[in-house]
Amino acid sequence: MKVLVNDVLVERSEVKVDIEDRGYQFGDGVYEVIRVYDGTPFAMEEHLERFYRSAKEIEIELSLTMEELKGKLEELFAAGPFHDGGIYVQLSRGVAPRKHQYEEGIKPQLIAYPVPSKRPEKEQQEGVSAITADDLRWLRCDIKSLNLLYNIMIKQRAYTSGAFEGILIRDGYVTEGTSSNIFMIKDRTIYSHPASNLILNGITRMKLAALFAENGWTFKEQAFTKEELLQADEVFMSSTTAEVVPIIRIDQQPVGDGTPGELTKAVLQAFLQSLKEERVPSV
Ligand SMILES: Cc1ncc(COP(=O)(O)O)c(C=O)c1O
């Protein structure tokens, strides 16, 4: 398998990580996961824009322009074979003697490689369960930072309790999932936390917002409480890898009648249809 390291493609077995890479030691860096369907990237520009924004927010400057990086990623796809899954792209601040502060002139380290994954079709059809947990993360969740410690703790708690996702609650309000955005539906209005510093504004979330408008579905970017979540008619999550997945149980209680709701199913269909329109043949 080929890996993009800065601006060259190398075999995975040849890639070495320096013990003083700040990404490795401090999680000092940012990342993206870009969906690839049948060898073709989906929403690559949106992901790259978010990647460059995240890097800028923590003051890391890429040596490649966005166009150049796009070209390098295309070389990575061409080096295939690559079918379904994602491309993981990571940028660390670089290698420097271990101390918290850093000097000017460190060379950022970029890597990108394919991570195969299957579309969660069973979960999309049948729905999944979720747990809730306090959102104890930092206040810059809009940056796609390598620091995922708290997200991991809650995802693992969900996993070991047999749930698919952990829904995070800050000051009584639902923010997002550990690796997804959360939507609830009440009286046919779709709600999601506003795109602020408290959530990652998902690329899937943005695509869905456009589909809601196209389909005339009422969408409010408005925070809702844990109680409202538990009283919702329907709940679903969205992400690059999960696309749209109905949540049918939260903290052991059924959402609505405990089956995927009609509007959620329509949202999923609209999303899959939009992929087809972008010529994703396998969907
Ligand atoms: C914390 C968090 N929120 C939301 C999302 C969904 O974002 P996207 O739709 O761009 O994958 C992710 C995806 O990994 C995430 O990690």
- Residue tagged 């390598």 (tokens): 146
User: Which of 147, 144, 141, 145 lies closest to 170 in space, CA to CA?
Assistant: 141
Active site residues: 144
pLDDT at 281: 60
Residue 101, classed as helix, strand or coil, is coil
The DSSP code for 47 is H
Residues 87 and 172 placed together within one structural domain of the fold: no
Q: Is residue 283 part of a domain?
A: no
We report the CATH number of the domain holding residue 79 as 3.30.470.10
CB 133 within 8 A of CB 170: no
Residues 265 and 172 placed together within one structural domain of the fold: yes
Ligand 1 atom 15: residue of nearest CA? 179
* Ligand 1 atom showing the smallest separation from residue 141 Cα: 1
The DSSP code for 138 is -
Q: Is residue 49 part of a domain?
A: yes
Residues 82 and 147 placed together within one structural domain of the fold: no
- Segments in the chain below pLDDT 70: 279-283
Pocket-testing residue among 51, 142, 208, 240, ligand 1, by greatest number of atoms within 8 A of Cβ: 240
Which of 51, 81, 116 terminates a domain? The answer is 116
pLDDT tens readout for residues 38-53: 888 999 999 999 999 9
How many angstroms does the Cα of residue 245 sit away from the middle of ligand 1? 13
Cα distances from 41 to residues 3, 8, 47, 82, 85, in angstroms, run 16, 19, 10, 10, 9
pLDDT at 175: 99
How many angstroms does the Cα of residue 103 sit away from the middle of ligand 1? 31
How many angstroms does the Cα of residue 202 sit away from the middle of ligand 1? 5
CB-based pocket (< 6 A), ligand 1: 151, 176, 179-181, 200, 202-205, 238-240
CB 282 within 8 A of CB 37: yes
Which of 116, 149, 168 terminates a domain? The answer is 116
Residues 60 and 129 placed together within one structural domain of the fold: no
Whether pTM > 0.95 for this model: the answer is yes
Q: What values do phi and psi take at 266, rounded to 5? A: -65, -35
Residues 132 and 75 placed together within one structural domain of the fold: no
C-alpha angle 46-50-56 in degrees, rounded to nearest 5:
145
Ligand 1 atom 7: residue of nearest CA? 202
Domain ranges, residue 34: 2-116
How many angstroms does the Cα of residue 241 sit away from the middle of ligand 1? 9
CB 76 within 8 A of CB 113: yes
Residues 162 and 271 placed together within one structural domain of the fold: yes
Pocket-testing residue among 181, 196, 206, ligand 1, by greatest number of atoms within 8 A of Cβ: 181
pLDDT at 180: 98
Which of 92, 116, 140 terminates a domain? The answer is 116
Ligand 1 atom 8: residue of nearest CA? 202
Q: Is residue 158 part of a domain?
A: yes
CA 71, CA 167: separation in Å to the nearest integer? 36
Pocket-testing residue among 200, 203, 267, ligand 1, by greatest number of atoms within 8 A of Cβ: 200
Residues 133 and 267 placed together within one structural domain of the fold: yes
Residues 11 and 35 placed together within one structural domain of the fold: yes
pLDDT tens readout for residues 51-66: 999 999 999 999 999 9
Residues 95 and 141 placed together within one structural domain of the fold: no
Q: Is residue 221 part of a domain?
A: yes
pLDDT at 279: 65
Number of domains making up the chain: 2
pLDDT at 82: 73
* Ligand 1 atom showing the smallest separation from residue 176 Cα: 3
Residues 169 and 87 placed together within one structural domain of the fold: no
How many angstroms does the Cα of residue 131 sit away from the middle of ligand 1? 17
Residues 150 and 261 placed together within one structural domain of the fold: yes
Residues 68 and 17 placed together within one structural domain of the fold: yes
We report the CATH number of the domain holding residue 155 as 3.20.10.10
User: Which of 134, 24, 36, 41 lies closest to 86 in space, CA to CA?
Assistant: 36
How many angstroms does the Cα of residue 104 sit away from the middle of ligand 1? 31
